[in-house]
Amino acid sequence: MGFADDLQRVCLVQIERSREIVRRTLLEILSDCVDGSPVGNPDLWKANQGVISSREAYREEAFTYNAANPGKRRKGTSRQVVNKKFPLAVGKGYTGGRFKNNWQVGIGFINAAVEETPDASGSGSLKRAATVFDGLKLGMVIYVSNNLPYAKRLEYGWSKQAPNGMVRLSLQNTGQALKKTADAVRGEA
């Protein structure tokens, strides 16, 4: 083996480390986006605010009754019973998490897929991304998108759960994510 072979081996190792740093950093940034994504909660929807206020007033009145009558508890004041007495105006049977499950990744193209299945944890988005990032090579262009029609509204403050968006906040942490993953990869060497 000569100097050229040694140099080529060192270069290949460094290229692989760099690829791994980029892959892990992208997963970290995407994970921040997914974790910061709101999950629909009908209790927070404007259309249900009257019902929620009625539930709270009923519970408050029951609490006052119970405090005035120690040892006695008013029947029909459990959360389940009160929710039945005051049903939501909209969102009955709603399962949140569709937005979290719709983060898509494409290498060299915008992935226009839309997932119909809700996943409040967002693990489906991260698993799909990890699979795509496994094929990543340095110099490739990566696109991250959420193709649901309300994604842009959520990014710009439509949700009280994410008033500052997800993508913009995640991108602010790019430097930290890069340093964290570079240190981790360097520590594995």
Whether 35 and 111 share a structural domain: yes
75 found inside a domain:
yes
Under 8 Å between Cβ of 96 and 140:
no
Whether 112 and 29 share a structural domain: yes
Closest CA to 37 of 129, 133, 153, 127: 153
Q: What is the pLDDT of residues 31-42, one digit of tens each?
A: 999 999 999 877
Backbone angles phi, psi at 11, to 5 degrees: -60, -45
Q: According to DSSP H, which parts of the chain are helical?
A: 3-36, 49-68, 79-85, 123-133, 151-155, 167-172, 174-188
Whether 48 and 30 share a structural domain: no
pLDDT at residue 66, as a whole number: 66
Q: How many domains does the chain have?
A: 2
Whether 65 and 121 share a structural domain: no
Q: Is pTM beyond 0.85 here? A: no
Whether 170 and 106 share a structural domain: yes
pLDDT at residue 34, as a whole number: 96
Q: What is the mean pLDDT of residues 97-109?
A: 96
Instruction: Say which residue, 124 or 87, is predicted with more confidence.
Output: 124
- Per-chain mean pLDDT for the chain: 88
Range of the structural domain that residue 17 is part of: 3-40+95-188
Whether 81 and 145 share a structural domain: no
Give dist(CA 171, CA 179) in Å, integer. 14
Lowest mean pLDDT among 1-5, 27-31, 144-148, 149-153: 1-5
Whether 66 and 32 share a structural domain: no
90 found inside a domain:
no
pLDDT at residue 121, as a whole number: 94
Q: Is the pLDDT of residue 73 over 90?
A: no
Whether 175 and 118 share a structural domain: yes
20 found inside a domain:
yes
pLDDT at residue 78, as a whole number: 75
